[in-house]
């Protein structure tokens, strides 16, 4: 069966592998239909992602079909269309026991720390499959990306009418934006790229697009939008040390700052910048199982429109040659989806 490997940084290989054995107890065998590509995959390809081991079958944003179930599986049946929750947790550690499975101390994300879904079929724990029979496989492949933003907005405790600033209008920032909208927040977006701000205006009606500037005009815009208060919640989706170290300046007193993006560098800021206004800093990692059925329902109801999200489709057979083009995306590119069939 068709399988794609990252053999080492910048080495992609499409090959044939043996079909998997029958699924074991608690497992399902799935056929992969659609695979979303994200920054983690690009980082893995370039050798820049610290947890990536080689050789590796990438692919963690998946729209799959159940083709067989093992003993004891009751949550899915053959023929079900599913989104995959790619976070393999242990169920035994302190965060797992508290229900914070996203922070499992032994967490393995498929496609990153163990093999993922860029192959025709594979076996997976059935409890990690979330059924969405009314969605397309493409939509199901987007659920995981959306879950990242969903969890971030939950971490921030956004309520109706809250002023929310999203910093970084790439795919992760946009996923947070979707859920800030669902919560009924008043949203502003900050990005270095005017093209991205225009996209947010055209697609989501976000009137307040802010370009960070040295001259302080960004702060004036932020204060004007929030009637002088600052934002109830700032979501930093840049993964940029400089932005993350100073993002609290846009927070209202007693506001929150969520970090979704990750940097390997230290964040340095004066303590008073968070102490005086009692700003709460909330890192947000992965997502929770409950986010998946919630998002599937929102897409089904049309509350979230996945239409603007997919800007490129790539056939599996073209991936070895074309994947490198995704490193420098064309303007306006949000999400590329690989089509297995
Ligand atoms: Zn991803
Ligand atoms: Zn655990």
Q: Tell me the per-residue pLDDT of 2-31, one tens digit each, with 9 for 90 and over.
A: 999 999 999 999 999 999 999 999 999 999
Q: How far is the CA of 284 from the centre of ligand 2 (A)?
A: 17
Is residue 205 very low, low, confident or very high in pLDDT (cuts 50, 70, 90)?
Answer: very high
Is residue 208 very low, low, confident or very high in pLDDT (cuts 50, 70, 90)?
Answer: very high
Q: How far is the CA of 25 from the centre of ligand 2 (A)?
A: 20
For the four alpha carbons of 179, 195, 145 and 310, in that order, the dihedral sign comes to positive
Is residue 214 very low, low, confident or very high in pLDDT (cuts 50, 70, 90)?
Answer: confident
Rounded to an integer, the average pLDDT of 76-98 is 98
| pLDDT tens, residue by residue, 314-331 | 999 999 999 999 998 777
Percent of the chain with pLDDT strictly greater than 70:
100
Looking at per-residue pLDDT, the higher value among 231 and 50 belongs to 231
Q: How far is the CA of 171 from the centre of ligand 1 (A)?
A: 9
Indicate the Cα dihedral angle 304, 305, 309, 314, nearest 10°: 120
Q: How far is the CA of 253 from the centre of ligand 1 (A)?
A: 33
Query: Which ligand sits closest to the CA of 108?
Result: 2
Q: Is the pLDDT of residue 175 over 80?
A: yes
Rounded to an integer, the average pLDDT of 105-110 is 96
Q: Is the pLDDT of residue 51 over 80?
A: no
Phi-psi region of 261 (alpha: psi -120 to 50; beta: other; left: phi over 0): beta
Q: How far is the CA of 127 from the centre of ligand 2 (A)?
A: 15
pLDDT confidence of residue 330? 77
Q: How far is the CA of 254 from the centre of ligand 1 (A)?
A: 31
Rounded to an integer, the average pLDDT of 277-289 is 97
pLDDT confidence of residue 77? 98
Is residue 154 very low, low, confident or very high in pLDDT (cuts 50, 70, 90)?
Answer: very high
Sequential DSSP letters for 91-110: SSSHHHHTT-GGG-TT-EEB
pLDDT confidence of residue 250? 97
Rounded to an integer, the average pLDDT of 221-246 is 97
Phi-psi region of 194 (alpha: psi -120 to 50; beta: other; left: phi over 0): alpha
Rounded to an integer, the average pLDDT of 175-187 is 97
Is residue 53 very low, low, confident or very high in pLDDT (cuts 50, 70, 90)?
Answer: confident
pLDDT confidence of residue 331? 72
Rounded to an integer, the average pLDDT of 32-45 is 94
Q: From the CB of residue 46, how many other CB atoms can be counted at a distance below 10 Å?
A: 14
| Dist. CA 215–CA 244, nearest whole Å | 19
Angle at 129 between CA 126 and CA 130, to 5 degrees: 140
| Exposed / middle / buried, residue 291 (Cβ in 10 Å: 0-12, 13-18, 19+) | buried
Q: How far is the CA of 37 from the centre of ligand 1 (A)?
A: 7
Nearest to 188 by CA among 216, 238, 223, 159: 223
Q: Is the pLDDT of residue 299 over 90?
A: yes
Fold of 2-133+306-339: Quinone Oxidoreductase; Chain A, domain 1 (3.90.180)
Nearest to 84 by CA among 111, 113, 106: 111
The DSSP element (H or E) to which 123 belongs, if any, is: strand 121-125
Q: What are phi and psi of 186, to 5 degrees?
A: -90, 120
Q: Is the pLDDT of residue 312 over 90?
A: yes
In the block, residue with structure tokens 């302190």: 94
The domain locations on the chain are: 2-133+306-339, 149-283
pLDDT confidence of residue 266? 94
Is residue 48 very low, low, confident or very high in pLDDT (cuts 50, 70, 90)?
Answer: confident
Q: How far is the CA of 287 from the centre of ligand 1 (A)?
A: 11
When the pLDDT of each residue in the chain is averaged and rounded to a whole number, the result is: 96
Rounded to an integer, the average pLDDT of 294-322 is 96
Contact 279, 256 (CB under 8 A): yes
Is residue 143 very low, low, confident or very high in pLDDT (cuts 50, 70, 90)?
Answer: very high
Query: Which ligand sits closest to the CA of 88?
Result: 2
| Dist. CA 78–CA 67, nearest whole Å | 5
Please give the CATH architecture assigned to the domain spanning 149-283: 3-Layer(aba) Sandwich (3.40)
Query: Which ligand sits closest to the CA of 98?
Result: 2
Rounded to an integer, the average pLDDT of 259-276 is 94
pLDDT confidence of residue 50? 72
Nearest to 112 by CA among 305, 321, 262, 257: 262
| Dist. CA 196–CA 331, nearest whole Å | 8
Contact 194, 213 (CB under 8 A): no
């Amino acid at each position: 069966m068709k399988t794609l490997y990252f053999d080492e940084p910048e080495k992609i290989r499409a090959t044939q592998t043996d079909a998997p054995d029958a699924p074991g107890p608690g497992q399902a065998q799935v056929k992969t239909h659609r695979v979303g590509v994200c920054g983690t995959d690009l980082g893995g390809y370039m050798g820049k992602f610290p947890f990536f081991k080689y050789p590796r079958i990438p692919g963690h944003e998946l729209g799959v079909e159940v083709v067989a179930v093992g003993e004891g599986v009751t949550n899915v049946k053959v023929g079900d269309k599913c989104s995959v929750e790619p976070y393999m947790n242990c169920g035994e550690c302190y965060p797992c026991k508290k229900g914070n499975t996203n922070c499992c101390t032994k967490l393995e994300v498929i496609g990153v720390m163990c093999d993922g879904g860029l192959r025709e079929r594979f076996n997976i724990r059935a409890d990690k499959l979330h059924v969405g029979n009314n969605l397309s496989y493409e939509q199901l492949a987007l659920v995981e990306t959306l879950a990242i933003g969903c969890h971030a907005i939950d971490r921030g405790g956004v309520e109706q009418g809250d002023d929310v600033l999203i910093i970084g209008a790439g795919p992760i920032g946009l996923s947070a934006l979707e859920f800030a909208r669902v919560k009924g927040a008043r949203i502003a977006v900050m990005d270095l790229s005017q093209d991205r701000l225009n996209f947010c205006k055209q697609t989501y009606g976000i009137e307040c697009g802010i370009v960070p500037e040295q001259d302080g005009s960004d702060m004036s815009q932020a204060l004007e939008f929030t009637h002088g208060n600052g934002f109830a919640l700032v979501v930093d989706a840049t993964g940029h040390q400089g932005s993350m170290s100073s993002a609290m300046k846009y927070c209202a007193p007693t506001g929150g700052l969520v970090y979704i993006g990750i940097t390997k560098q230290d964040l340095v800021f004066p303590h008073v910048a968070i102490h005086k206004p009692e700003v709460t800093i909330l890192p947000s990692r992965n997502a929770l199982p409950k986010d998946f059925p919630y998002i599937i329902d929102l897409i089904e109801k049309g509350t979230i429109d996945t239409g603007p999200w997919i800007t490129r489709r790539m056939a599996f057979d073209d991936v070895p040659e074309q994947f490198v083009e995704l490193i420098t995306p064309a303007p306006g590119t949000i999400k590329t989806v690989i089509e297995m069939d």
